[in-house]
Amino acid sequence: MQGFSRLVDKVKDKAAEIRAEIAEAAAAPALGPASSSAGGASASAVGQLVSQQLDTPEAAQAAGARQLGLHLCGHDVEGVSIAGQNNTRPASLHPPAPRSFQATLAAAAPACVQETCIILPRLRVAFDVGRCPQLLGMDPARYVVHPHYVDRLHQLLALCKDLEGGSPPLMYDITPLQTGEEITLPSGHIGYLLYSYRKKLKAELVGRSQEEIRALRAAGQEVTDTYQIPEVAFTGDTSGALFEDPATPADLYRAKLLIVELTFVDETVSFEQARERGHMHVADLVAHAHKFHNEAILLIHFSARYTRAQILAALEANMPPSLRSKCVPFLNGFA
């Protein structure tokens, strides 16, 4: 019993230490929208502005405590995404070539990862959930995975429920998604390209009085057109072949916010090695920079071999200014 009591005391001490670190990081100045720090600067400068905010002792402290949050293109971004140092997938985990955009998005959590979960709180969406403590206490989670992983995920969640003693009950739904299929999320967004829907008065009705429009609506006539606007695109853990695949949706390049898992940022791992391992290299972004019409590109999932200073320096050195200006590195967890 004495040994057990000492163990409990150690756990309590460690918990108090972690709470103190989190409280200290939370007290650091918050990083708000990039535009507010530059008097309404253009979207094309968002990456440079936010990166300047990231390159501060306060931001480093918040990132180290995994409390760093960003605001890009009207969306809050939270979470953490750190790739492993080896970054070599077992051959059995490679999906069949070519790796289409849909195949990338339908894949399960990536191999060779330390921890990953990118959370968009306002949209109530979490991408790439490899670790997501914020899900606790929320509405029942919906896991969208390739059919190959459905039974395995059921087994994993059953084990988690058993380890937690079944209280509180673990509520979830598992939705299988084949390559090329689409689903509509409860929030009204589609797949891993998230869209907003806007209604606009039909062109032929512009100038009509409110009374006329109400009468047409009462008679059952549709008086508005619905527009689908790509808000967020998430690439998943894939190689630069994604940008060469003609099947990649054009909206990937038009979404306001593009989230890219950029594992390698310099030549410590070459472009060829990154392609062979199925990961993204900074050279891939540079080669296809002309395609990105996004307002901002959030870069996540850097290899754990890098420090935050190395990541920032490599992006400055290896990206042309026009691309660098819209790229924002997500550095939670990097010292």
Tell me phi and psi for residue 207, to 5 degrees: 100, -15
| pLDDT single digits (tens) 252-306 | 999 999 999 999 999 999 999 999 988 999 999 999 999 999 999 999 999 989 9
Strands 75-83 and 302-303: parallel
More confident residue, 244 or 55: 244
More confident residue, 50 or 223: 223
**Residue 158 within any structural domain of the chain:** no
- Give percent of the chain above pLDDT 90: 25
Rounded to whole angstroms, the Cα distance separating 92 from 97 reads 13
**Residue 206 within any structural domain of the chain:** no
Q: Are 239 and 99 in contact (CB under 8 A)?
A: yes
**Residue 98 within any structural domain of the chain:** yes
| pLDDT single digits (tens) 225-267 | 888 899 999 988 788 999 998 988 999 999 999 999 999 999 9
Q: 56 CB contacts (<8 Å, ≥6 apart)?
A: none
46 pLDDT band, cuts 50/70/90, is low
**Residue 96 within any structural domain of the chain:** yes
**Residue 50 within any structural domain of the chain:** yes
Q: Are 193 and 167 in contact (CB under 8 A)?
A: no
**Residue 25 within any structural domain of the chain:** no
**Residue 137 within any structural domain of the chain:** no
**Residue 73 within any structural domain of the chain:** yes
Domain that holds residue 310: 35-123+182-200+228-329
How many domains does one find in the chain?
A: 1
